[in-house]
Structure 1
Amino acid sequence: MEGTQVTVESVRDVGPETVALELEAPNTFDALPGQFVLVRALLDGEDDPIARHYTLSSSSVTDTFEITVGVDPDGDLSPWLAALDPGETIHIEGPFGNIAYEGTHDVVAIAGGPGIGPAISIAEAAHNAGHDAVVLYQDDDPAHVDRLDELEDDGEANTTVTVVDDDADAELADAIEAHLDEGEVYAFGFAEFVTLVADTIDDAGGDADEAHIENFG
Structure 2
Amino acid sequence: MDATVAVTDVSSVGPNTVAIVLESPDGFDARPGQFVKISAAVDGEEYARFYTLSSPDAHETFEITVGVDPEEAGPFSRHLLELESGDELDISGPFGNEYYEDESHVVVLGGGPGVGAAVGLGERALRDGGSVAVIYKDDAPAHEERLADLRERGATVVVTDGDLADHVSEVYTDGAQAFVYGFADFVQEALDALEAVDADPADAKVENFG
| Kept after mapping to 2: 8 A contact 1:34/1:56 | yes
Q: Provide the aligned C-alpha RMSD in A.
A: 1.3
Distance in 1, Cα, partners of 2:183 & 2:15: 18
Matched residue, 1:59: 56
| Kept after mapping to 2: 8 A contact 1:111/1:136 | yes
Distance in 2, Cα, partners of 1:193 & 1:104: 23
Matched residue, 2:16: 17
Q: Secondary structure at the match of 1:58?
A: coil
Matched residue, 1:214: 207
Matched residue, 1:142: 141
**Superposition map of 1:138-217 within 5 A:** 138-154=137-153, 157=154, 159-165=155-161, 168-169=162-163, 172-181=164-173, 183-217=176-210
Matched residue, 2:96: 97
Amino acid at match of 2:187: V
Distance in 2, Cα, partners of 1:23 & 1:180: 34
Deviation larger for 102-111 or 28-37: 102-111
Q: Secondary structure at the match of 1:42?
A: strand
| Kept after mapping to 2: 8 A contact 1:113/1:139 | yes
Matched residue, 1:70: 67
Distance in 1, Cα, partners of 2:196 & 2:109: 16
Distance in 1, Cα, partners of 2:49 & 2:32: 18
Distance in 2, Cα, partners of 1:33 & 1:65: 10
Could you tell me which runs of 5 or more consecutive residues in structure 2 were left unpaired when the two chains were aligned.
Answer: none
Amino acid at match of 2:110: A
Could you tell me which runs of 5 or more consecutive residues in structure 1 were left unpaired when the two chains were aligned.
Answer: none
Q: CA deviation at 1:62?
A: 1.2
Amino acid at match of 1:195: Q
Matched residue, 2:123: 124
Amino acid at match of 1:191: A
Q: Secondary structure at the match of 2:199?
A: coil
Distance in 2, Cα, partners of 1:178 & 1:126: 20
Amino acid at match of 1:214: E
Amino acid at match of 1:71: V
Q: CA deviation at 1:208?
A: 0.2
| Kept after mapping to 2: 8 A contact 1:72/1:79 | no
Q: CA deviation at 1:82?
A: 1.1
Q: Secondary structure at the match of 2:85?
A: coil
Give the aligned length: 207
Distance in 2, Cα, partners of 1:72 & 1:89: 23
